[in-house]
Homo-oligomer: A and B are copies of this chain.
Amino acid sequence: MSVTIKDIAKRLGVSATAVSKALNDRDDVSEELKRKVLKVAEELDYSANTIAKRLVTNKSNTIGVFMLSRRESEQRETVGFQFLSGILEEANKNGYDIVLFSTNSDLLDEKSYIKLCKERRVEGAIFTGLRLDDPHIPEIKKAKFPITIIDTELDDAENVGFITTDNLSGVHKALEYLWKLGHRRIAMINGHHQAQVSKRRYQAFKEFLTQKGVFDEDLVFYGDFTKNSGYKAALKILELNEPPTAVFSASDLMALGAIKAFKDKGLILPRDMSIIGYDNITSSEYTDPSLTTVAQDSVNMGREAVRLVLDGLDGGTMKKKVLEAKLVIRDSCARCC
């Protein structure tokens, strides 16, 4: 079949062990043998069999990555890809392979995430797009290997860490900005309840405006992170007896839908309505008006997610890490009234 260390050993008249050691550059082999082994390996076009190595060392050098809720979170096209870039970069840098899993696939319908991980003996896992109503959450909490969840914090889970951007300060920055522009009546288009960020952003929204003495529950609307749901929410906002002067959307995609709705209804933006998004997806730069939004460094979040897993592998308990959110000011907000 394929070339193995035995073939190299035979060719050189030494033992397989010696070849193994030489290939792993261990210091209990002579430099000369190393050279010879490398040379013959080259000649025979030898490739190490990672699978055999993983079996015998009982180490898979693999991190499983789950990209869930693909369908409903269209914005993940941008953000999800950036996560993945960061994850890949950091994992490969540390000698780890990434095995990717997705929802909407037969594999996941039949087997649980954790089962999938165990069978492949992945050393750690990273989840994105996890919903709070996911039936596998109890199992995730009990996992015996380190897991990082992006944007969702689970309690009572020893081996589960999480990484997010600071939703509280992100939302506050956005509102502070609107406040300084003179807006006092501010609506929110929130995401669905199954995303933890929705809760966090809502809390931050409520906290800020309550402190200012102008919070109004009737100005909070709900979508599901899709563009269309943002569109619908915007229409409802316009039906209000006393519409707000500004809208804060919990995601860019919903903000884009809202912008479309406002324009369709004849509003001139940002003159007639200020709007601010969250995520800084690529498209937000190209809308008219371009969208002011709260940005997270998604590539870096991916990197950090891997680092947290790696730390967990080194024996630490899983950490929770919160990155800074940044306000990206573009053209979708105007001074009020």
Residues of chain A having any CB pair with chain B under 8 Å: 1, 47-52, 54-55, 58, 60, 65, 67, 70, 74, 76-78, 80-82, 84-85, 88-89, 92-93, 95, 97-102, 104-108, 115, 118-121, 256, 281-283, 285-288
Complex Cα spacing A256 to B283, Å: 11
Please give, as numbers and ranges, the residues of chain B lying within 8 Å of A82 by CB-CB distance. Answer: 77
Please give, as numbers and ranges, the residues of chain B lying within 8 Å of A102 by CB-CB distance. Answer: 85, 88-89, 92
Complex Cα spacing A95 to B77, Å: 24
A1 touches B58 (CB 8 A): yes
How far in angstroms is the closest Cβ of chain B from A95? Answer: 8
How far in angstroms is the closest Cβ of chain B from A12? Answer: 21
Complex Cα spacing A76 to B51, Å: 32
A50 touches B97 (CB 8 A): no
Q: How many copies of the polypeptide does the oligomer hold?
A: 2
How far in angstroms is the closest Cβ of chain B from A57? Answer: 10
B121 touches A92 (CB 8 A): no
B282 touches A77 (CB 8 A): yes
A47 touches B115 (CB 8 A): yes
Please give, as numbers and ranges, the residues of chain B lying within 8 Å of A89 by CB-CB distance. Answer: 102, 104-105
**Cβ contact of A107, chosen from B52, B81, B92, B282, cutoff 8 A:** B92
How far in angstroms is the closest Cβ of chain B from A307? Answer: 15
Q: A77-B82, A281-B282 are in contact. List 9 more A-B contacts (CB 8 A).
A: A47-B118, A51-B51, A51-B60, A67-B88, A77-B78, A78-B282, A93-B106, A287-B287, A288-B288
Please give, as numbers and ranges, the residues of chain B lying within 8 Å of A78 by CB-CB distance. Answer: 77-78, 81, 282
A119 touches B256 (CB 8 A): no
**Cβ contact of A98, chosen from B74, B100, B286, cutoff 8 A:** B100
Complex Cα spacing A159 to B285, Å: 42
Nearest-CB residue, chain B, relative to A111: B47
Nearest-CB residue, chain B, relative to A81: B81
Complex Cα spacing A98 to B54, Å: 17
27 residue pairs from A and B, CB less than 8 Å apart: A47-B118, A48-B119, A49-B55, A51-B54, A51-B120, A55-B55, A65-B100, A67-B88, A70-B85, A74-B282, A77-B81, A77-B282, A81-B81, A81-B84, A84-B84, A84-B100, A88-B105, A89-B104, A92-B108, A95-B107, A97-B99, A97-B120, A98-B99, A99-B99, A256-B286, A287-B287, A287-B288
How far in angstroms is the closest Cβ of chain B from A258? Answer: 12
Complex Cα spacing A54 to B77, Å: 33
Nearest-CB residue, chain B, relative to A291: B286
User: Among A47, A67, A101, A286, which residue has the most Cβ atoms of chain B within 10 A?
Assistant: A286
Q: A92 and B118 in contact (CB under 8 A), knowing A77-B82, A99-B97?
A: no
B50 touches A119 (CB 8 A): yes
A93 touches B105 (CB 8 A): yes
Complex Cα spacing A99 to B54, Å: 15
Please give, as numbers and ranges, the residues of chain B lying within 8 Å of A108 by CB-CB distance. Answer: 92
User: Among A80, A100, A108, which residue has the most Cβ atoms of chain B within 10 A?
Assistant: A100
Complex Cα spacing A80 to B282, Å: 14
Nearest-CB residue, chain B, relative to A263: B288
